[in-house]
Amino acid sequence: QDNCPTIANQDQTDTDHDGIGDACDPHTTTKTPR
């Protein structure tokens, strides 16, 4: 399943593993506190 259907992101990268592709995720540049 495409994790970012509105923006082309061939590799489907999801750095923070939240199910939203990095191309669509505004929070990929900040680390999520654990």
> What are 1-34's pLDDT values in tens digits?
899 999 998 999 999 999 999 999 987 555 555 5
Gap between the Cα atoms of 1 and 7, Å rounded: 14
> How many domains does the chain contain in total?
1
Q: Which of 25, 29, 30, 26 shows the shortest CA–CA distance to 14? A: 25
DSSP characters for the chain? --S-TTS--TT---TT-SSS-TTT-TTTTSPPP-
Q: Which domain holds residue 29?
A: 1-34
| Number of neighbours of residue 31 by Cβ within 10 angstroms | 9
Give the model's pLDDT for residue 18. 92
Give the model's pLDDT for residue 33. 56
Tokens at 3, concatenated: 């994790």
pTM: 0.61
Give the model's pLDDT for residue 20. 92
